[in-house]
Amino acid sequence: MLMQRVITALVLLPLLLAAVWFLPTMWLYGVFSFAGLLIAWEWSALMKLQSTGARYGYVLLAALALVAAWMFRTRWINLSIASLMWWCYAAALVRTYPASFASRAPGKAAMALIGLLLIVPTILSLAVLHSGGDITSVHSGSLRLLYVFFLIFAADTGAYFAGRRFGKRKLAPAVSPGKSVEGAIGGLLLCAVWALTGGVYVFFDGVYAPVGRLAAFVGLSMLVAMISILGDLAESMFKRAAGVKDSGTILPGHGGILDRTDSLLAAAPLMALGLYLLKL
């Protein structure tokens, strides 16, 4: 299993880096949209859609939503705000699970909407980050997007090692028993280090930044790291509710696309919105 994970990562990571670095934003949006449609397919299983036709129908709905989002891409902020509102509600669901699902489990229509809120704002936010903050521009903000990817990687890596070494208190035992408070703190600390190093290089040209703006940027990065943890927990919650271990099997050793992108689905819209508000 470990070898499968390593091989899959070694194959996919160079492809991802090459796409982010060399593709124009419009083409990258297409690549990420294809991944979004794979997520929609996996999400349709968590929705417990019985027929293959119904699952393909949901994928088609997601495709139309992604096309519409690109056509109205200058209004991306509205989608980011809608995503943030959903994640605030998701935090309450995770905190009270399983009681939250016992009393008000989302129906199929609600699950369909949740899936679109997971996919569409994220894909468009990735395009915004890649465009350098101006979705109408051809400027490539590859480093901005890579900063976000590595921020989430830092949160996951720090949480893994800190959790193994110091983990005692369960973060959300009903949802994901393996995650600890100490692990989450370790992930946040590593994210702070990344913000003060990689973040300064990418967003402040590697030079001295005013204390107030730097503090605001580090605070944003920490918030993004925290919501990325929520994304992981929320996906675990939905998988538990659906009675499955992984969202899919498309990535050997890793599970489904949703299993690998759950943190990003929560983090990207907030990062794009935060950078816009900070004028970075």
pLDDT of residue 2: 47
pLDDT interval class at 192 (50, 70, 90): very high
pLDDT of 80 higher than 60: yes
pLDDT of residue 136: 47
pLDDT of residue 181: 93
pLDDT interval class at 18 (50, 70, 90): confident
* Of 7-21, 132-146, 263-277, minimum mean pLDDT range: 132-146
Look over the chain and give the mean of its residue pLDDT values, rounded to a whole number.
88
pLDDT of 4 higher than 70: no
User: pLDDT tens digits, residue range 85-112?
Assistant: 999 999 999 998 888 777 677 888 999 9
**Residue that wins the pLDDT comparison between 60 and 142:** 60
pLDDT interval class at 137 (50, 70, 90): very low
pLDDT of 151 higher than 50: yes
pLDDT interval class at 250 (50, 70, 90): low
pLDDT of residue 9: 67
Rounded average pLDDT over 233-243 = 90
Give the DSSP letter string of the chain: -HHHHHHHHHHHHHHHHHHHHHS-HHHHHHHHHHHHHHHHHHHHHHTT--SHHHHHHHHHHHHHHHHHHHHTGGGHHHHHHHHHHHHHHHHHHHHHTTHHHHHH---HHHHHHHHHHHHHHHHHHHHHHHTTT-TT-----HHHHHHHHHHHHHHHHHHHHHHHHH--SEEETTTEEEEEHHHHHHHHHHHHHHIIIIIHHHHSTTS---HHHHHHHHHHHHHHHHHHHHHHHHHHHHHHHHT-S-S-SSBTTTB-HHHHHHHHHHHHHHHHHHHHHHT-
pLDDT of residue 14: 85
- Report the percent of the chain where pLDDT is more than 70: 90
pLDDT of residue 6: 60
